[in-house]
Chains A and B, each alone.
Chain A
Amino acid sequence: MKKISKYLFILMVGGAMFTLSCTNLDEEVYSSIPLDDFFRTEADVLMNAGRAYTKLQRFPEEQRLWSLMQNASDEMVIPGRDDGLWWEQGRWDELHTHHFNPTNKILRQSWEFVFEGVSACNEVLYETETTPIQFEGKERILAEIRVLRALFYYWGIDNWGNIPYSVDFTDRELPEQKDRVFMFSFVEKEILDNVEKLQTMPGPDYYGRVTKGMAYTLLAKLYLNAETWIGQNMYQKAVDACDQVIALNAYSIEDDYFANFKVYNEASVENIFVIPNHTVYTKDRMYWYTLTLNDASRATFNFKGEMWDGFVLEPPFFNKYAENDVRRKSFLFGQQYDKAGNPIYFIEQGDTAWFAYTPTIDNYKARGRWEGARCCKYEYQENLEYYVNDMENDFVLFRYADLIYTRFEALWRLGRAGEMINDAHLMKIRTRAGLEPYNVSQLNAEELLDEFGREFAWEGRRRQDQIRFGVWGNTWWNKPASDANARLFPIPQTALSANPKLKQNDGF
């Protein structure tokens, strides 16, 4: 018995020791990086900072900000198809008819696009500022991120007006809602404080990054809309900001309108700020071909994937183009041809069906498969296949023509359009489109608005322009008249539920 109890004792003690050492529950991570192991070198800091830029990449997607703004305007529409697709319980119809709904998915995702961008910028600023690692260009990167954040807030003010304001990553409180006046001056100040630290001349090393040209262009646009947004006439300041960009002598108007939208548009001298794309690295971001074209167009462009055939040009908009306007070629209409130049046709039930897009649409709720003009402004490369090889064209956010026209409009509103009427860049915008340059007597609100529509079709400016020219409430195509409240989108329901400090915009 004694022997047994001795062994027993040893076993018990051994067991106890074993159990004490085996109460360790720390998780070992293999396939992600724990935060403590990050931020060791300059490369790490850059990789982290770059994350804020990647938030821009989602801008041209099907259900995000670009789509929201365009579908609410008069240049783009998504009618229900005759086979039932694309109606999607009327969520696109809500945008077209201005019956905005706080639970609309596109609205919610656009909001998330803007505020995830702001949040990423806040976080990156905090991490980059606090890391002890120093490197050349750190100040510049910080300035870039601040102006990038200002860009996101600019979109916020443009679309929702009264938005949550948050600039301190360490502040865990729910952000307060600030009105347009406050946010406007914040954005203005951010740009002015940081613009001098930015890169002056554009170049391959700064492609896709925030530069002085971009910052002043943003500032100019901000001032141009000041009267509409906060009731202050700042058109002179807009002109001055434009002059800053012109003074750089870094940009000019391309000879070929479409050079800015080519697959490899890095060489464009007109683009000021773009979102760079790569066919594989940024797949599922720029996939206009699949949104707008019908399957039959595969033969035209040698695509591999299937087309979703949903986004079309609103029929009345097509008529704004004169027949000889080069820019009308941004849209596909009429007989379609394959790569060899032969017209495309199909034998269906014994008949020959010639594949042609018609710019008109008979039934808004039952669009035929080949009705509606389609966008081909951005050049389509071969072998595109959604989610495998998407478009490589860099998406243009700001370009020089935009800046020139901004200056022009600001002067026109000041009654001084004559000062610029013979400007070489200004005239080139018209002549390269095959049209006569303007003279002062031709200028009126309707003509200017139409011209901006023609020049910047589908680029993301239309809604802003229509509001500024006061026509946002009008009727067009299937849209009824809408009241002043429609100039702002409602704040999404999910944002209101998550942050009780936010108040919904009037009228919703």
Chain B
Amino acid sequence: MKAIDIHSFCKAYRFFLIAALFSLLAPALMAQQGSRMVKGKVSDFNTGESLPGVNVSVKGTQSGTVTNIDGLFELSLSGEPVLLFSFVGYTSQEVASKGLNTIDVRLKPTVESLDEVVVIGYGLTTKKEVTGSIASVKTEDFNKGSYNNPMGLLQGKVAGLSITKPDGADPMAGYQILLRGTNTLTSGQGPLIIVDGVAGMDLKNVSFEEVESVDVLKDGAAAAIYGTRGSNGVIIITTKRAKTGISKVEYSGYLSVQVNPRMVENLNAEQFTDAIMKYAPEKAGSLYGTNTDWFKEITRAMPVSHRHNLAISGGNETFSHRTVFFVDQSEGLLRDNASNNYLLKTNIQQKTFGGKLSLDYNISYGIRDYKPANYDMFYQAFIRNPTSPVYDPGNSYTGGYTLISGMDYYNPVAMLNERTRTGKTDDAGINVRANLQLTPTVSWVNMVSVERSNWEELYYRTKYYPSRLGTGGEAEISNGRSSDLQYESTVNYRYEKNQHQVQLLGGYTFEEVQANNSYMVNTGFDTDIYGPHNIGAGSGLGEGTASMGSYKEKSRLISFFGRATYNNSDRFLAALSLRREGSSRFGANNKWGWFPSASIGWRMNNEAFMKNIAWLNDLKLRIGYGITGNQDIGNYKSQILMGRAGKFYYNGTWINTYQPVSNPNPDLKWENKHEINAGIDFAVLKNRLSGTIDMYYRKSTDLLYTYEVSVPPYLYKELFTNVGTISNRGVELSLKGVAVRTENFNWTSILTFAYNKNRLDKFTNEEFTNDSYDLGWIGGAIGVNSQKLREGQSLGTFYGPVWIGLDELGKDLFKNANPVGQVNPEDWEVIGNAFPDFTLGWSNMFSWGDWDMSIAMRASIGGQVLNTYRLYYENWGGIGLNNVVLSQYENPEFTGNARYSSKYVEDASFLKVDNISLGYNFALESKYISRLRMYATAQDVWTLTGYKGLDPEVNLGGLTPGIEYLSYYPRTTLLTLGVQVSF
């Protein structure tokens, strides 16, 4: 061994030392010479999470660094170059370093990453592999604002999915959800809602803040795997799951106030007095001289609500949790109307057996207490004489309220004060999902879920409640329980060889739902002190006028299913699924059915001839066909059951008699929907613009309807059976694009468009030959049916006389009028249809610096609504007792009586600005707070429409859509101030 040359070693050592010193000092030296250290933190724009591994480089050079596990970086710069921040899946950002020593950057996830996860039935796939029509909405695209139900987040975001709130500002109002038109006459029309794998969850138990993403399975090919529950589409909601990593606490709070209440406009006291003097002077006796704003008397001036969501999460690779507390207290516009919701939910994820077994537990408990509104109060506030006072202190019969005699004419303040109604619901749910990786390619998932719900409602009307005057108070107690047990077992197998990828899925599900309820009603209480809490004390019990009842029902759903998907080098995709499902609801001859689907996709951009088109990132053609069913028909409809029929006087006493409750039908089966859907998915310009076009045709056969039958031989004149066919066809377009992307400003826009045409193809056969039914009864003085259900026409078609104007005396003139000035029913024509031709949604998100703003709008073109308020109250006939609509006062030429005609069937096209939101992200240096964001949102801002009534968006479900209700809940604009903090 050669002796180390000490001298050369020392030399080397000195050199090394100097070099080390130099490298340490170099930044300082360089700084002194105009170079410096810049540090900062890179995090995700939406979630505030720190992003490790982000490339921080000096633009135009090779030098740079990478952020560490906490998202922090440090870089030595000379001069003031521009830094470039880039990371896979995120949009790169450039930041000038001039004058800055600390640069904190928030990166936004890239638009439409092709590897984005999409949830399909019983599994996940990626956007590029999907062959059915599935719309996937992520957090950044959700509507901003404060919601009592997660569906509000999606309004206007999915083409073809109509989400509306026909009940206005009621804090307990739910959303009406319709997908691709109406596909049934009598069965349920709502889609199947799955939350974290559990079917049929009540959305009131899901905090809107906790929704991570929503996937909507729109067509038959995608939904067929859900068999008899898939006909109206499937909405799969994934909530935020437990995440490994350091503990995090996230809090969001919202304080909202409702302003600008909008109700049907009537005359105030001054206008009312003037109108009577001018147009109905014989009713001068109805002028009582006071000035009452009935609407104000029953509403709150500024209803306030606040919502808080606190989420704590943390854990490590083998055990992590996310626990959420949610509190929602909302006041309604109507006095004494409120809804409170308290939720506690935890998601725990555990991995054992070396990662082979992963367990996902979800436990949730929710309590809701509420005071429901009586919509009739708003109708009474509309019609009531504004010159009559609220109180009549000398009137002991009414308890001090003014009483004016009239049919269905009540003092709304008395209705409000002389009634108490409260309700309470507890919901508890637990589910466990165990995923066992048997081999690297085979996994077996088992899930068990139990949900229980209890509710109770107490209702008391005092002896001064207007419709009970002179009869004593009335108390009602009702309650119920329900439980839902689900078990699911699926086996998944993956096979890959060369360019072939195959996935096979096989499974079994079992669901049992049980519900029971009971009620008791008693009347004749001489004191109101008890309220509903001493229900035996009313005199009705002894007189035999008290009533009580109870009911229990149970149903089961069992199915076996399988799916195979094939992927050939990401160019050719195919999927096949089959479900065999049975439901206890169907007749003995038809309990089970088959629901197949097949779909294929072709990713054209991966083909050789398309690979060189630089601006094209993705182009996929797909076509799919699937059959789904609809079993939402209620229990026991196929059986012959005996129920009580009335009393019979036999041998000196009254005995009960029994009769069949309905005609039996052992052939009762589900409605079948066949659907074919062709679509194109594309992304261009580096994914800057992407979109989807879908065209579909869906046909539901074996429609269930209650037909009139001959008695005898049937026992009843009606039979609930499968006969008809209804079809919907349409086009949907969805576009998402980044319109502007500069250093400081980003503008993303989402546009959805849908066109749907509905047609009732058939509902007759050899036995049932009546091809036209009259529906849409308008009662009271009008007394006509406004719609017809007719073969060959769309649902919701209005029939009536055609109004052509007023004559010189101010009376109605109709087309084809008979000698007495009316139109015979056989001369009625089609005067409108409830369904719109096109629906559009347009949302825009802007961000600059720390600010962001978004505006979401929706439009509907075509469709008509019957303006019932104008029909009844746009005339001078009833003034005096009743008020009239403002439009009659402003255009008083009409002097005739209320008569149904096309005059009142109005165009319902509208443009609505649903929400406008402005937010600010605070750039913080705090060790504790990783993200702080504040924002202000206005919801239900503005409506542009020619419709003269309150809101052209009325109920579109059921057999008679498009008819405005007289009992309604007003609309308000919600202003919210919100804060989101992450610790």
Given A85-B781, A278-B647 in contact, is the A25-B652 Cβ separation under 8 Å?
no
Judge whether B569 is part of the interface by a CB distance below 8 angstroms. no
Judge whether B609 is part of the interface by a CB distance below 8 angstroms. no
Stretch at the interface among A163-171, A246-254, A322-330: A163-171
Contacts of A175 in B (CB 8 A): 710, 712-713
Stretch at the interface among B27-35, B153-161, B545-553: B545-553
A87, A280, A349, A497: which contacts B769 (Cβ < 8 A)?
A497
Judge whether B62 is part of the interface by a CB distance below 8 angstroms. no
Stretch at the interface among A116-124, A433-441, A450-458: A116-124
CA distance A141 to B648 in the complex (A): 13
Interface residues of B in 529-558 (CB under 8 A from A): 543-545, 550-556, 558
Q: Contact between B642 and A33 (Cβ–Cβ < 8 Å)? A: yes
Judge whether B645 is part of the interface by a CB distance below 8 angstroms. yes
Contacts of B645 in A (CB 8 A): 51, 54
Interface size on B, residues (CB 8 A): 77
Q: Contact between A38 and B642 (Cβ–Cβ < 8 Å)? A: yes
Which residue of B is nearest A306, CB measured?
Answer: B407
B552, B585, B652, B825: which contacts A27 (Cβ < 8 A)?
B585
Instruction: Tell me, rounded to whole Å, the shortest Cβ–Cβ distance linking A379 to chain B.
Output: 19
Stretch at the interface among A202-210, A222-230, A255-263: A202-210
Contacts of A115 in B (CB 8 A): 711-712
Interface centre among B284, B652, B717 (most CB of A within 10 A): B717
Judge whether B69 is part of the interface by a CB distance below 8 angstroms. no
Stretch at the interface among A42-50, A333-341, A409-417: A42-50
Stretch at the interface among A15-23, A184-192, A213-221, A419-427: A15-23
Judge whether B923 is part of the interface by a CB distance below 8 angstroms. no
Q: Contact between B545 and A388 (Cβ–Cβ < 8 Å)? A: yes
Contacts of B582 in A (CB 8 A): 23, 25
CA distance A4 to B641 in the complex (A): 52
CA distance A164 to B710 in the complex (A): 10
Judge whether B285 is part of the interface by a CB distance below 8 angstroms. yes
CA distance A175 to B769 in the complex (A): 16
B516, B584, B652: which contacts A207 (Cβ < 8 A)?
B652
Contacts of B712 in A (CB 8 A): 115, 118-119, 122, 164, 166, 169, 175
Given A47-B657, A112-B711, A499-B710 in contact, is the A32-B585 Cβ separation under 8 Å?
no
B650, B782, B881: which contacts A50 (Cβ < 8 A)?
B650
CA distance A31 to B519 in the complex (A): 14
Q: Contact between A27 and B639 (Cβ–Cβ < 8 Å)? A: yes
Which residue of A is nearest B647, CB measured?
Answer: A281
Q: Contact between A54 and B646 (Cβ–Cβ < 8 Å)? A: yes
Instruction: Tell me, rounded to whole Å, the shortest Cβ–Cβ distance linking A493 to chain B.
Output: 9
Interface residues of B in 706-724 (CB under 8 A from A): 708-717
Q: Contact between B591 and A25 (Cβ–Cβ < 8 Å)? A: yes
Q: Contact between B657 and A50 (Cβ–Cβ < 8 Å)? A: yes
Q: Contact between B641 and A35 (Cβ–Cβ < 8 Å)? A: yes
Contacts of A499 in B (CB 8 A): 710
CA distance A118 to B560 in the complex (A): 48
Which residue of A is nearest B646, CB measured?
Answer: A54
Given A22-B510, A25-B584, A84-B878 in contact, is the A51-B657 Cβ separation under 8 Å?
yes
Contacts of B284 in A (CB 8 A): 349
CA distance A349 to B709 in the complex (A): 55
Judge whether B358 is part of the interface by a CB distance below 8 angstroms. no
Judge whether B854 is part of the interface by a CB distance below 8 angstroms. no
Which residue of A is nearest B645, CB measured?
Answer: A51
Contacts of B661 in A (CB 8 A): 32
Contacts of B647 in A (CB 8 A): 54, 278, 281-282
Given A89-B784, A494-B708, output 12 extra A-B contacts at Cβ < 8 Å.
A15-B489, A27-B639, A33-B642, A34-B642, A46-B655, A51-B646, A119-B712, A173-B713, A174-B710, A175-B710, A281-B647, A388-B523
* Interface CB pairs A-B, < 8 A, 19: A8-B438, A19-B510, A22-B510, A27-B555, A30-B516, A30-B554, A31-B550, A31-B552, A32-B643, A33-B658, A34-B641, A38-B642, A51-B648, A83-B878, A120-B715, A281-B647, A282-B647, A306-B407, A494-B770
Report B's interface with A, CB cutoff 8 A.
Answer: 284-285, 405, 407, 438, 470-471, 489, 508, 510, 516, 523, 543-545, 550-556, 558, 560, 582-585, 591-592, 635-636, 639-643, 645-652, 654-661, 708-717, 768-770, 780-784, 825, 877-878, 881, 897-898
The 8 closest A-B pairs by CB, nearest first: A50-B648, A349-B285, A32-B641, A30-B552, A54-B646, A276-B649, A51-B657, A497-B770
Report A's interface with B, CB cutoff 8 A.
Answer: 4, 8, 15, 19, 22-35, 38, 43, 46-48, 50-51, 53-54, 57, 83-85, 87-89, 91, 103, 112, 115-116, 118-120, 122-123, 164, 166, 169, 171-175, 204-205, 207-209, 276, 278, 280-282, 295, 304, 306, 348-349, 385, 388-389, 494-495, 497-500
